[in-house]
Chain A
Amino acid sequence: ERVMTQSPDTLSVSPGDRVNLSCRASQSVSSGLAWYQQKPGRAPRLLIYSVSTRAIGIPARFSGSGSGTEFTLTISSLQSEDFAIYYCQQYDNWPLTFGQGTRLEIK
């Protein structure tokens, strides 16, 4: 099983900040990496798949990068609606696995 580890667990940031969220895989997941955003009481929402491809309707301030075992989700200028929990997920290998999440909170 590929273990996905995200860092940090929580990040205190301000609107307008640029943030980088990290995701590390225990073994290579090639390009099989997606990012999801989840707000309280809501289902996750797909942001990015295939490491760097934005899903339909996702603003350009969200971008993904990385390869192999190290991946990053970047939000170029935080908006108020971006305060949420972000999960990375690998789909290169069964079972599909998620990171534990990074919570973005308002500083």
Chain B
Amino acid sequence: QVQLQESGPGLVKPSETLSLTCTVSGDSISPYYWSWLRQAAGKGLEWIGRIHPTGDTVYNPSLKSRLTMSKETSKNQISLKLTSVTAADTAVYYCARETQVSGQRWFDFWGHGTLVTVSS
């Protein structure tokens, strides 16, 4: 069974960089697409960005200027860096595996999520 675990600091100061890692177990990350999503308290889901098997990335335009996603295949990890954070970046951050078949795609495995609070 595929399992995803997000990790990283739970508290980040305004203007600093938020860094998170998603460690995947139960399968290799190599053939799949991986996304980060977030959810502010009491709010809906926001897709942040995606990294392809090739390492190419697609980012949400609303975050693109501050966002970097990468992967380390040898460690089976996906990473996210979001610079210049503000209180508006406070949310539960999820990593999710995206399965893509014949143009259809869906998030079939999710991590439990990690709460990141931006505060001084």
Chain A residues engaging chain B, CB cutoff 8 angstroms:
1, 31-32, 34, 36, 42-46, 49-50, 53, 55, 87, 89, 91, 94-101
Q: Mark B23-62, 1 if CB is under 8 A from A, else 0.
A: 0000000000001000000001111001000000010111
Task: For residue B60, give the distance in angstroms from its CB to the closest CB of chain A.
Answer: 4
What 19 new A-B contacts, CB under 8 Å, besides A42-B112, A55-B108, A96-B50? A32-B105, A34-B106, A43-B110, A43-B112, A43-B113, A44-B94, A44-B107, A44-B110, A49-B106, A50-B106, A53-B104, A87-B45, A91-B105, A94-B58, A96-B35, A97-B47, A98-B44, A98-B46, A98-B47
- B side interface size, CB within 8 A: 22
**Once the chains bind, are B104 and A49 in contact (CB under 8 Å)?**
yes
B111 within 8 A of partner (CB): yes
Number of A-B contacts (CB under 8 A): 55
Q: Chain A interface secondary structure, helix, strand, loop or mixed?
A: loop
B45 contacts which chain A residues (CB < 8 A)? 36, 44, 87, 89, 98
